[in-house]
Every structure is written in structure tokens, then in C-alpha cells.
A = this chain, B = another copy of it.
């Protein structure tokens, strides 16, 4: 049984160690050292090169190294009959909650403005909303969005969440739920701090665009910890430059690493990090990879199986 590991950002040695510990007999190959493509039963991937998966004729399952699978579905040659699983992991969720809270609180407490004042040697107390007066809007109510929403409710913020379709499962108490196009308008109009945690699909690509930025109240903050392609970069720059938005925290970008000549690098209202909000940790995630391999070998359905029609 052979598994192909492919990622430009995850630590291959660490993954090999953790997988070998659990499956000593696994034939583990680290891309681009693939060997005979016909040998590969499983592909554990992050942003695989286009066509790579189609070139593996005996592939039984595709395992995403992240919570998102857009990086897999972007491939027009993706074999449609091979099941895809994504990662749902407590540490990944904890990473998103930490990063989300850190940036929401920093925006709420006006840290970026204080940093600018500090650089000017200016001691000036700015007006401050209470958490109860601050409205946090969260786009996407999967495991990540719901967990972050709950943490924000716990700190006393007014919290609303949006999902494209309505939800039947119970949501955390104190969380207002919007859905659909009308719901999006309602949420945007009331969000002082907007956090994007949507899956990237055809329906959500470019959702943070000129029209939707215009619906946010003046002075709002945008935090993107989902995917770069949720944002229309030029529209964000225009909304910041006009003064309509106060600033943005960005962890994800359409092209990563963010190209050196991209204006986000130098924009004074943008705080950016190199896609580190939540990093898949093999110490905790290797278990579910191994369990999914066991399931496929036994003809069972994988955990965290992706719905191909929804795209997440």
C-alpha cells in the first residue's frame, strides 16, 4: 500500500515520522519522488500541481492536508470518481479561534492605530466601544466559524453569522444566524468587524467585493482567514483608500507566497501574515489520515468526506 505525500509548505519529514509510527508498512513516497504512478493508492496533498492526481491511475482516495479542498478542486483534470476527505481537527480549530480572537480584539481595541501613534511618539487616548457595542459578523458557520463565534459571544461581543444555505443543526446561544443573499445584506450592514471563514467555492469566490464592502458600516474591519480568492484585491484597496474601511487583517492570498510587487505588502492599513492562522499538525491529524485509509481499505466511507457538488 503506497501513499504519495505532496506539499510545498508542510514538513514532509515530520509527516513521514508520524505516519510511519502508525503504519510501519506503509510505502511512503514524498513528491516529486513518486516512483511508478500506478503504485499509489492514496494521495495526501496541499495545492497539488495540476494534473498530478489524474496521473495516478489506481488512486483510491485523496486526502487534503487542510480544512479546505479548493486547492484540489481547482484542477480541471481531477478524477471525479475518487473520494476526497478534508481535515477537521481540534488543533486546526484552536488555531483559527486564536488567530480570529487575536485580530478581532486588536481591531476592537484599535491596536493598529495605537501602533501608528506610537511610531509618531504620540500619547493619545482614542475613544473605545465596549464589546457589547461592537458587532462581529462571521461569514461561514462550519466548525471553524461556529467555534470562533462562540468565543466572541463569550467575550460579550454582538455576534452574527452567515451561511449560504440555512442550517438545521443548533448554533451557539447568543449567535444571530443569517443566510442567503438577503441575510448577507443584513449581516454586512451590521458588522463592525467582518471575518471570512467560508469554504472557497464558485459561489463564494470574490464575495468580498466592492458592492459588499460598500454595505459594511464606515470604519469597519475585514479579517480574512479563509482563502485569498474570497477577496477582490483591488476592491479592498479602494475601500481602504477611500477611508470606508479602517483596515484589514489578511492571512491568505490568491497567490501564495504573496508576490513581492503586490500592493498589500506596503499598504499601511493592511496587516498580513503568511497563511499561518491554522497549520495542520501531523501529531494530531495523522490519526484521521490513518483512520481514513483503514476505512477505504475496509470499504467504509471516509470521515470528513467532501461533497463534490457543494465543493466542501
Say how far A264's CB is from chain B's closest CB, in angstroms.
9
| Residue pair B154, A114 in contact (C-beta under 8 Å) | no
Our pick among B99, B114, B121 for the contact of A273 (Cβ within 8 Å) is B114
Q: Does A12 contact B (CB under 8 A)?
A: no
Check: A115 CB closer than 8 A to any chain B CB. Answer: yes
* Chain A residue total in the interface (Cβ 8 A): 43
Query: Which residues of B are found within 8 Å of A98, using beta-carbon distances?
Result: 105, 108-109, 131, 155
Q: Return chain B residues, CB-CB under 8 Å to A257.
A: 123
- CB <8 Å contact, A130 and B271: no
Number of copies of this kind of chain in the complex: 2
Closest-by-CB residue of B relative to A278 is B128
Interchain CB contact (< 8 A) of A131 among B94, B109, B128, B273: B94
A window 259-282: CB within 8 A of B:
260, 265, 271-276, 279, 281
27 residue pairs bridging A and B, Cβ less than 8 Å apart: A9-B125, A91-B130, A94-B131, A95-B128, A98-B105, A98-B108, A98-B109, A101-B101, A101-B102, A101-B105, A101-B155, A102-B108, A102-B111, A106-B106, A106-B111, A111-B273, A114-B276, A115-B271, A118-B265, A118-B272, A121-B265, A124-B274, A125-B274, A125-B276, A128-B279, A151-B155, A154-B154
